[in-house]
Amino acid sequence: MLPVCDLENDFVHLEPFSDALKEEVRAALDHDPDAWSGMVSAGYGPHFDVWWASALKAMASGSRIAYAVRSKVDNAVVGTTSLYEIKPEHLRCEIGSTFYRPSSRGSAVNPAAKILLLEHAFNHGMVRVEIITDANNAASQAAIRKLGAVYEGTLRKHKRTWTGRMRDTVQFAVLDDDYPTVRQGLIQRLDRFRQATGLVS
């Protein structure tokens, strides 16, 4: 079982969901309704409370660890991400349910969060971490490829989104064998952000 704990580096602080974080997460997610269209459930505006309750229920069952992503640039919660579909018997989990407010996209936030999640999973016995996205979401696919995850195929009519559309899902994965190379790539990306911002670790 993956332990539920804070994860932190120079760029972000990942905080497991708690009641104290609810309103900060609500504010971070109430952006860009179109970006939610490919997801199974929506977390913006009027959908938030049901989405939040579902995340806490999954955490209680041990199948998900949902995190608020706090940027160290301004100490604000800028989005959310999760380790979910946690399957200890198969040493497998997914990274997903990721959403960042538009102003944080393209920044150090995503690679900084991903390296923390991957490190946590592999340090606690996982051998496979999957990352999936809507086949219609070219930007998300590009971001996942940039992480170094391996494309494994497209699952047709794989999930029904909250709007009722049957989506094709593009599946990527990082194996424990892949992770040293993926980790090095992420470190290099974050080093470039450090140099650009003058951040010293």
- Reported residue count of the chain is 201
Quick one: pLDDT at residue 66? Answer: 98
User: What CA–CA distance (Å, rounded) separates 66 from 53?
Assistant: 11
The number of angstroms, rounded, from the C-alpha of 186 to the middle of its chain's C-alpha atoms is: 15
User: What CA–CA distance (Å, rounded) separates 43 from 82?
Assistant: 13
Residue 47 buriedness (CB in 10 A; 0-12 / 13-18 / 19+): middle
- Contact present, 57 and 17 (Cβ < 8 Å): no
Beta bridge partners of 179: none
Beta bridge partners of 83: 65, 95
Quick one: pLDDT at residue 188? Answer: 96
Quick one: pLDDT at residue 201? Answer: 44
Nearest Cα to 143, choosing from 107, 93, 188, 180? 107
Question: Strand ranges (DSSP E) for 30-149?
Answer: 64-71, 77-87, 92-100, 128-134
For residue 111, give Cα distances in angstroms to 1, 60, 107: 24, 27, 8
Quick one: pLDDT at residue 63? Answer: 97
Q: pLDDT (tens digit, 0 to 9) for every residue of the chain, 201 residues total?
A: 899 999 999 999 999 999 999 999 999 999 999 999 889 999 999 999 999 999 999 999 999 999 999 999 999 999 999 999 999 999 999 999 999 999 999 999 999 999 999 999 999 999 999 999 999 999 999 999 999 999 999 999 999 999 999 999 999 999 999 999 999 999 999 999 998 877 654
Quick one: pLDDT at residue 161? Answer: 94
Quick one: pLDDT at residue 82? Answer: 98
User: What CA–CA distance (Å, rounded) separates 114 from 41?
Assistant: 21
Quick one: pLDDT at residue 199? Answer: 63
Backbone angles phi, psi at 166, to 5 degrees: -80, 120
78 Cβ contact partners less than 8 Å away, ≥ 6 residues apart:
28, 69, 70, 71, 100, 101, 103, 104, 109
